[in-house]
Structure 1
Amino acid sequence: MAKSKTGQAFSATLVSGGLYKRNQGRLVRQLTAIGLVAVAIFGAYSLYNALPLAMSPGMQKGIAVAVVVISIWLAYRVVNFPRFADFLISVEAEIGKVTWATWDQLWRSTAVVIVLMVLLALLLLAFDIVWQWFFRLIRFLQI
């Protein structure tokens, strides 16, 4: 992983607006930022519902919107922080090396998993019935 600009602190990058390695790791960085913003939106919604009812509705909404806006800026800056951006660039490069299964292999594997889960469920049902019968036979269960 490239280690340029490692001496730069995260607090120093908060006020800058530039992009770090603009065209590298673009998809992973965008999806990471979207995920961070989605978590922030759910958190702001929870905060909005948790704020005291004595507070005016405008103030409740203002606080929630401020949390979302600050979170959007932080998500944008986090994915452009050099060390984290280099990590995400490396992740995208490694994902590109993965050999993905074909649709036919995927369907066959899914069928195998489903059939095995049904067979295991039936086996556990059989064990349950046998143990219930045994415990009732020795009068351990009185149902």
Structure 2
Amino acid sequence: MGKVKDDVSAAKPTKNPKAKPGGGQPRMFTRFFLNFLETSLYKPMQGWYARLYTAIGLGVVLVSGVYLLWQSIMEYEVTARLGIPAAVLLILGWAIFRIVHFPPFAEFLIATEAEMNKVSWTSKEDLYRSTTVVLATVVLMAVFLFMVDWLWLFILRNIGVLQFTGGGSFGSPAG
């Protein structure tokens, strides 16, 4: 066995006395809020499909919510009935656009698209063939289990273990 040195302690990391908490960078919420005021695009040609489909998904949720809002304020006058949902749609639509260009989230979407491009997708013919095999197996297993269940029901009825006549529903006393 090796010898342990007691007089040498592990080196402790030193702090920079001038550094502020958070490393001097703006906090995440501040960066997120400042992102809404920008008009620039963050790495516009990278992760384009991931950003597009994310924005479409969030847009569908937004449009559904605005439609429910519009339905709930039908008793208001026409300007409020159309203006409030339009304002919410514009503000949250801008928010969705800025969210997909927020650098940490955009980096995640870029990395996601890069990983999805590495996936080896199956061909359409292989997919049909595999689906057919799975469905045929499920049907055959269902038929087999039905036959086994029916066989045990027949055997147990004939030896007098089951006294079920089939007159009642499940859970009710059989007549």
Gaps of 5+ in 2: 1-24, 169-175
Which stretch shows the higher mean deviation, 90-99 or 27-36?
Answer: 27-36
For the aligned residue pairs, the C-alpha RMSD in angstroms reads: 2.8
Query: Identity of paired residues, percent?
Result: 36
Q: State the alpha-carbon separation in 1 of the partners of residues 145 and 104 from structure 2.
A: 49
Instruction: Determine whether 1:15 maps to 2:40.
Output: no
| Distance (whole Å) between structure 2 residues aligned to residue 132 and residue 47 of structure 1 | 57
Partner SS for 2:57 = helix
- Greater CA radius of gyration, 1 or 2? 2
Which sections of structure 1, spanning at least 5 residues, go unmatched?
A: none
**C-alpha distance in 2 between matches for 1:111 and 1:6:** 55
More divergent stretch after superposition (97-106 vs 54-63)? 54-63
Q: CA deviation at 1:64?
A: 1.6
Q: What TM-score, normalized to structure 2?
A: 0.67
Equivalent residue number for residue 66 of structure 2:
44
* 1:91 and 2:112 are equivalent in the alignment: yes
Pick from 111, 117, 126 the counterpart of residue 138 of structure 2. 117
Higher helix share: 1
What is the one-letter code of the residue matched to 1:102?
S
Partner of 2:163: 138
SS of equivalent to 1:18: coil
Selected match of 1:77 from 86, 98, 101: 98
Query: Does the 8 Å contact 1:40/1:67 carry over to 2?
Result: no
2:12 paired residue number: none
Distance 1:57 1:128, change over 3 A: farther
Q: Tell me: CA distance 1:14–1:114, structure 2 relative to 1, closer, same or farther (3 Å).
A: same
The equivalent of 2:8 in structure 1 is none
Greater shift in the superposed pair: 55-64 or 73-82: 55-64
**Counterpart contact for 1:13–1:77, Cα < 8 Å:** yes
Give the structure 1 partner of residue 75 of structure 2.
54
Q: Provide the rounded CA distance (Å) in 1 between the counterparts of 2:146 and 2:68.
A: 42
* Matched position secondary structure for 2:105: helix
Distance (Å, rounded) in 1 between the aligned partners of 2:26 and 2:151: 64
CA distance in 1 between partners of 2:149 and 2:77 (Å)? 58
Q: Secondary structure at the match of 2:87?
A: helix
Between the two structures, name the one with larger relative contact order (CA 8 Å, sep ≥ 6). Answer: 1
